[in-house]
Structure 1
C-alpha cells in the first residue's frame, strides 16, 4: 500500500493533534482514511445492490449438486479402484468436497447478512438449514459476525482475530523493550510453529465457537456461541441462540445416526474430513482478511466504520476464488456493503478501488506464504496508541 503524500500527512497530523486535548499516537505515521459511506456507495452502480432470490438459489443448488455428485462418486472408490488409486481418489474427494462445501458455507453466511434474498424469512430459513448442516449455529454466529462487521479493526469491540496486547502476553513494557529484544515467550522452532498453525487451521473454528478463542476478551465469563447468556448476546437474542443450538443438535444427531448405520469410518471419510477442510478454508480466509502486518488497528478515539471496514485485505486463491464465490477477492466490498450479493461484489470492487486509492489493499502473495508470514509476524500490538500495527 503506497504511503500518502508527506506534506499532506504532516499537515493532517498537525491539524489533528492541535485540535485534541492530548496528542494522537500514530504508529508508522499512518494517516487514516476519511471517506464517507455516501461517497463509496455513489461510486457503485445501483444494480450491484439488488438481491435476486432465484439467482441466489441457482448458486446454492449448483454447489449442493456438485457436493452430492462428489459424494456419490466416492461410493465407488473402495469397491472399484485398486488400493493404490484409492490413496489418490479419497484426498481428491476430500479436497473438492471441502472446497464446494466452503462455497455453501459462504452462501449461508450471506443469508446471515440478508444478502441472499430481499425476504428475511427466506434468508433465515436457507441460512439455518445450510449452516446447521455444516455444524454452524446459524443465528448465534450471525449475531456475533454482525458485531464483527460493525466494529472491524476496533481493538476493544471487534469479535474475531482480536490482536493480543503486549501486556497480555507478559512481554516487557515498550519503554524497556526499546531495541525490540528477542521475545522468547513468542518464539518457537519452525516445526512447533507449523504444528500450531495446523492446529489453528483445522480446529480454530470450533474452538472459537466453543471457547471464543481469538475473540474479544470478557473478564471472568465463559464466552461461547451456544449459551444464550453469553456476553456476546443481548437478552433479545435468547430464542435465536436456542434455535441455533437445536439446529446443531439435529446435525449431530444425523451424524451419530449414520455412524451407527454405516460405521464411524464411513462418516469420517464422507463428511468429517471434508468438514475439517471447510474449517481450514474458513479460518484461512477470515484470518488473512484481517491479520496482516500492513493492516492498522484502531482504538476508540480514532475508529469509525469506514476505517474499520477497509482494514481488510483482498486476495486471490486461484481457481478456488470462483468456488468460494469470490469472498476472498471482494472482501473489502463485502465489509463496506454486507447486504450486497456476492455475484455483484466483483463489479463493485472495481468502482470502490477508484475511490479508495492506496487505501484499498490487495495482496497477491501466494496464499500459504501469506499465511505463514502473518502467523509468525502478527503476534501482538502495543497497549497504548490510537492507531497501531502488529509486531512480533
Structure 2
C-alpha cells in the first residue's frame, strides 16, 4: 500500500492559509477549545481500564495451556503499551493539572517496562520541538548517504537491520542506548533523569529476582520478556509509521518549517480497533503534534477538526504488512531531491 495525501470525501474545504505562510498558531485556531480540556474522570477511567486489561492478560498467561500463550503475549504486550501511552500523556503534562501527579503516574506506568520517565520525557519533547528536522530529530531520522558512507561497519550493519525487516527492535536500541545515560543532561534535568533511571533499575533489581525465584527462567520469559518484546514491537511500529513515508521529507534546518513539519510530516495510521482501544488512540497522531496539550481521549475530536480545514493534505493509511514492506524497502537514506534513497539504489550508484 502506498501512503498518499487524502481529501475529505465530498469536501471542497481549503486550508485557511497557504502552506508557505503556515504557522502553528494558525492551525491551533482551527481546533475547538474542548480538545484541550483535561477530564479527570476520563483520565482515571483509562488508567483503571488499562490496569484491568493488563491484569486480565497476566491472569490468562498464568492459566492457559502453552499453545495459547502467543495470543496472550500479544494481548498483554499491547495492554502494556497502553501503560506507556498513559505515561506519555503524563510526560506532556496532559494527564493531570498538577505536575507531581503527572510525574507520579508517569513513573508508575513506566515501571513494568523498565523505562526511565524523565529521560524519555525530555528526549521526546526534543522530538516534538524538531519533528522531521534532519539534523535534530531523535526519532527515526534517516542517515545521509555521506554520514552512512563514513560510518563504521558495525553501525552500517545495525542501521540496515532497524531500517529493514527488523525495524521492531529499533525502540529497544533507543531505550537501552539513550535513556539511562544521565550524563548527557545538565543541572536539574540531570538530577531528574538520574532519579528516574535509578527508580527503573531499582524496580528491575527487585522484580526480576523475585520473578525468577518464584517462576524460574521460563516464568521470566513468559510473564515479562515476551510481553515486553510485543510492547517494543508496537513502540517501534508506531514511532516509525508516525513520521515515515516515501513522500514525507526530513528537512534540513535552513528549510524547516515547524507548522508544515508537524501537520504534513505526521501520519494518522488506522490499526485494528482493539489495538487502538488498548493503546488509547496514540495512532491518531497528527493533532498530538499540533499540540501536546491535547489528552489522548480528545485526539479523535481534534483530528476531525483538522480534517475540516486540512483534509486534502493530511496523511492517512491503514496498518498492513504492505505498508511496513514499503517503509522498510524504500525509506533508508535521506535524499534531498526525492526524500529517500533505498539501500539498493545507494549500492547501485557506488
- 2:272 corresponding residue in structure 1: 318
The DSSP-based 3-state class of the residue aligned with 1:263 is helix
**In the aligned structure 1, how far is the partner of 2:213 from the partner of 2:19?**
57
**In the aligned structure 2, how far is the partner of 1:103 from the partner of 1:209?**
17
**In the aligned structure 1, how far is the partner of 2:23 from the partner of 2:325?**
34
**Contact (CA 8 Å) 1:53, 1:118: kept in 2 or not?**
no
The DSSP-based 3-state class of the residue aligned with 1:363 is strand
Q: TM-score, normalised by structure 2?
A: 0.85
- 1:281 corresponding residue in structure 2: 234
Structure 2 residue 155 is matched with structure 1 residue 146 = no
- 2:170 corresponding residue in structure 1: 204
**In the aligned structure 2, how far is the partner of 1:137 from the partner of 1:106?**
14
**Contact (CA 8 Å) 2:114, 2:203: kept in 1 or not?**
yes
**In the aligned structure 1, how far is the partner of 2:136 from the partner of 2:53?**
39
> Unaligned regions of 5+ residues in structure 2, if any?
7-17, 151-155, 343-350
**In the aligned structure 2, how far is the partner of 1:227 from the partner of 1:70?**
32
**In the aligned structure 1, how far is the partner of 2:305 from the partner of 2:242?**
20
Q: TM-score, normalised by structure 1?
A: 0.76
Structure 2 residue 58 is matched with structure 1 residue 71 = yes
The DSSP-based 3-state class of the residue aligned with 2:181 is coil
**In the aligned structure 2, how far is the partner of 1:90 from the partner of 1:260?**
21
1:33 Cα deviation (Å)? 4.9
- 1:7 corresponding residue in structure 2: none
- Whichever of the two has the greater Rg, that structure is 1
Higher helix share: 2
Total equivalences in the alignment: 319
- 2:295 corresponding residue in structure 1: 341
**In the aligned structure 2, how far is the partner of 1:317 from the partner of 1:159?**
24
1:43 Cα deviation (Å)? 1.6
**In the aligned structure 1, how far is the partner of 2:110 from the partner of 2:86?**
9
**In the aligned structure 2, how far is the partner of 1:321 from the partner of 1:206?**
22
- 1:358 corresponding residue in structure 2: 312
**Contact (CA 8 Å) 1:132, 1:251: kept in 2 or not?**
yes
**Contact (CA 8 Å) 2:38, 2:94: kept in 1 or not?**
yes
Structure 2 residue 25 is matched with structure 1 residue 38 = yes
Structure 2 residue 341 is matched with structure 1 residue 391 = yes
| CA RMSD between the two structures | 2.4
**In the aligned structure 2, how far is the partner of 1:33 from the partner of 1:125?**
42
> Unaligned regions of 5+ residues in structure 1, if any?
4-30, 172-185, 188-192, 212-223
- 1:22 corresponding residue in structure 2: none
- 2:12 corresponding residue in structure 1: none
The DSSP-based 3-state class of the residue aligned with 1:164 is coil
Structure 2 residue 249 is matched with structure 1 residue 300 = no
**In the aligned structure 2, how far is the partner of 1:119 from the partner of 1:195?**
38
Structure number with greater CO (CA < 8 Å, separation at least 6) is: 2
Structure 2 residue 326 is matched with structure 1 residue 373 = yes
**In the aligned structure 1, how far is the partner of 2:99 from the partner of 2:201?**
24
